[in-house]
Chain A
Amino acid sequence: MKTRGEDWRREVERSAEEILRALSRSLEVLTAEGETYQLGEFHQPLREDGEPSPAEEREAFRKRFLSLAPSKDEEGNLKVEAAGWVR
Chain B
Amino acid sequence: MGTLEKLEALRGGDLSPVENLERILRKVEEMNGKLNAFLQLNPRAREEAEEVERRIRRGEGGRLSGLTVAVKSNINVRGLKATCASRVLEDYVSTYDAEVISRIRREGGVIVGMTNMDEFACGSSGETSAFGPTQNPSAPGYIPGGSSSGSAAAVAAGLCDLALGTDTGGSIRNPASHCGVAGLKPTYGLVPRHGLIDLGMSLDQIGPLAPDVHGLALLLEVIAGENPREGMMLGVQRVSFPNLEEGVRGMKVGVCPQFSSLTDPRINGLVEEKVEVLRELGARVEEVSLPHLEHALSAYYLIVSVEFFSATRRYDGRKYGKRIEEACGEEVLRRIAIGSYISRKEYRDRYYQRALQLRTLIRKELFSAFQRVEVLVGPTVPKLPHRLGEKLSPLEMYAYDYLTVPANLAGICAGVVKAGEVGGIPVGIQVQGPPLAEEKVLRVMRALEESGCR
Interface, chain B (partner A; CB < 8 A):
87, 91-93, 95-96, 188-189, 202, 231-235, 292, 294-295, 297-299, 301-302, 317-321, 326, 329-330, 333-334, 337-338, 341-342, 350-351, 353-361, 363-364, 394-395, 398, 409-411, 435
Q: Is the interface of B mostly helix, strand, loop or mixed?
A: helix
List 4 additional A-B contacts (Cβ < 8 Å) besides A26-B295, A70-B319. A65-B95, A68-B91, A69-B320, A78-B319
> In the complex the two chains form, is B292's CB within 8 Å of A27's CB?
no
B95 engages A20 (CB within 8 Å): no
Given that A42-B233, A70-B318 are known contacts, is A29 also in contact with B292, CB under 8 Å in the complex?
A: yes
Chain A residues within an 8 Å CB radius of B188: 39-40
Q: A42-B231, A68-B320 are in contact. Are A36 and B363 (CB under 8 A)?
A: yes
A33 to B231, CA, bound (A): 26
Contacts of A23 in B (CB 8 A): 297-298, 301-302
20 sample A-B contacts, Cβ–Cβ < 8 Å, listed by A number? A2-B330, A12-B330, A16-B337, A16-B338, A16-B341, A19-B394, A20-B341, A23-B297, A24-B350, A26-B358, A27-B302, A33-B360, A36-B357, A38-B202, A39-B188, A64-B95, A65-B319, A70-B318, A70-B320, A80-B318
Chain A residues at the B interface, C-beta cutoff of 8 Å: 1-2, 4, 9, 12-13, 15-16, 19-20, 22-27, 29, 31, 33-40, 42-44, 61, 64-65, 67-70, 78, 80
Residue of A nearest to B96 (CB): A61
B357 touches A25 (CB 8 A): no
A4: min CB distance to chain B, Å: 7
List of B residues within 8 angstroms of A35 by Cβ: 353, 356-357, 359-360
Cβ A68 vs Cβ B330 within 8 A: no
Known: A12-B337, A23-B301, A68-B93. A42 touches B358 (CB 8 A): no
Q: Find out whether the CB atom of B364 lies under 8 angstroms from the CB atom of A33.
A: yes
In the complex, the answer to whether B297 meets A19 with C-beta atoms within 8 Å is: no
A7 to chain B, nearest CB (A): 13
Query: B residues within 8 A CB of A64?
Result: 93, 95
Nearest chain B CB to A49 CB, angstrom units: 15
Kindly report which residue of chain A lies nearest to residue B201, judged by CB atoms.
Answer: A38
Question: Contact at A39–B411, with CB atoms within 8 Å?
Answer: yes
With beta carbons under 8 angstroms apart, the residue of B299, B360, B395, B411 that contacts A34 is B360
B405 to nearest A CB, angstroms?
12
For B297, list chain A residues within 8 Å (CB): 23, 26
Q: Which chain A positions have C-beta within 8 A of B92? A: 68
Name the residue on A nearest B229 (C-beta). Answer: A47
List of A residues within 8 angstroms of B394 by Cβ: 15, 19
Residues of B within 8 A of A68 (CB): 91-93, 95, 319-321
Decide if A25 touches B298 in the complex (CB within 8 Å). Answer: yes
How far apart sit A69 and B321, CA to CA, in the bound complex (Å)? 8
Alpha-carbon separation in the docked complex, A79 to B355 (Å): 40
Would you list the 9 A-B pairs with minimal beta carbon distance, nearest first? A26-B298, A35-B356, A39-B411, A33-B360, A26-B295, A68-B320, A64-B95, A16-B337, A23-B298
| B95 in complex: contacting residue of A12, A29, A61, CB < 8 Å | A61
- Give the complex CA separation of A65 and B78 in angstroms: 12
A40 to B326, CA, bound (A): 37
- In the assembled complex, how far is the CB of residue B192 from the closest CB belonging to chain A, in whole angstroms? 13
Partner of B354, one of A4, A22, A27, A43: A27
B351 and A27 form a contact (CB under 8 A): yes
Q: Which residues of B contact A36 (CB under 8 A)?
A: 356-357, 359-360, 363, 409
Q: Which residues of A contact B359 (CB under 8 A)?
A: 35-36
Known A13-B337, A16-B341; contact A4-B326, beta-carbon cutoff 8 A? yes
**Across the interface, do A42 and B351 meet the contact criterion of CB distance under 8 Å?**
no
Give the nearest-CB partner of B333 in chain A: A12
Known contacts A27-B351, A29-B295, A61-B96; A16/B334 CB under 8 A: yes
Q: Do B360 and A42 touch across chains, with their CB atoms under 8 A apart?
A: no
Q: CB distance B95 to A34 under 8 Å?
A: no
Q: Which residue of A lies closest to B332 (CB)?
A: A12
Instruction: Specify which chain B residues have a CB less than 8 angstroms from the CB of A42 in the assembled complex.
Output: 189, 231-234
